[in-house]
Amino acid sequence: MKDCIFCKIIAGEIPSWKIYEDDLVYAFMDIGPINFGHTLVIPKEHHTSTATIPEATAGRMFRVGARIGVAQKRALDADAFNLHLADGTCAGQVVMHAHLHVVPRNADDTFHWNWRQLKYDTPEVAGELAEKLRNALKLEPQD
Ligand code: AMP
Ligand code: ZN
């Protein structure tokens, strides 16, 4: 897609530190890493949202992301890795070409996600919300 920075990276119009490429996905190091070696896995086809990526490509993104995480452990002596994905601006998506972050982690890296844990008022409230979600989920294989 014209004017998409990640499409330009795939096309070789903008340089990148490539980690992996196949027919469906491209992976390269993030220019502003949380930790050094932080890598992005992107579909070669332009999709703004992860939700429209075909199943084969989405599966490949996840598999390649996990394997890059293992490579980070081997090559960088990382203890672990995070897979992270922001879908939509208020979720933190800045580049509007869907991408999976693979972040190498060490016990002493001082990075925190600031994860919070709210509490449902009652089990019934949680149950009603689960039903609402099930009703909204129109999921067919290969969609
Ligand atoms: P997000 O906030 O999830 O949209 O993440 C976008 C990521 O893309 C950020 O972590 C940026 O550092 C990264 N990024 C932006 N431009 C480039 C680039 N030219 N090469 C590599 N990474 C980039
Ligand atoms: Zn794009």
pLDDT of residue 6: 98
Domain extent, residue 77, equals 5-113
Pocket test for ligand 1, best of 7, 17, 28, 30 (most atoms within 8 A of CB): 30
In a domain, 24, yes or no: yes
In a domain, 60, yes or no: yes
Q: Is residue 133 part of a domain?
A: no
Active site annotation includes 99: yes
Q: Is residue 123 part of a domain?
A: no
The residue nearest atom 17 of ligand 1, judged by CA position, is: 31
**Low-confidence residues of the chain: pLDDT under 70:** 141-143
Q: Does residue 72 sit within a domain?
A: yes
How far apart CA 75 and CA 92 sit, in angstroms, is 29
The residue annotated as part of the active site, out of 38, 47, 97, 99, is 99
Pocket probe for ligand 1: among 36, 40, 103, the residue whose CB has the most ligand atoms within 8 Å is: 40
Q: How far is the CA of 32 from the centre of ligand 2 (A)?
A: 19
Instruction: Evaluate whether residue 88 is within a structural domain.
Output: yes
Is residue 121 domain-resident?
no
- State whether the beta carbon of 16 lies less than 6 angstroms from ligand 1: yes
Burial class (CB in 10 A: 0-12, 13-18, 19+), 103: buried
- Residues 78-94 as b/e (b if ≥16 CB within 10 A, e otherwise) read beebeeebbeeeeeebe
* CATH number for 46: 3.30.428.10
**Calculated CA dihedral for residues 143, 60, 36, 71, nearest 10 degrees:** 150
- Residue whose CA is closest, atom 19 of ligand 1? 31
pLDDT at residue 142, as a whole number? 63
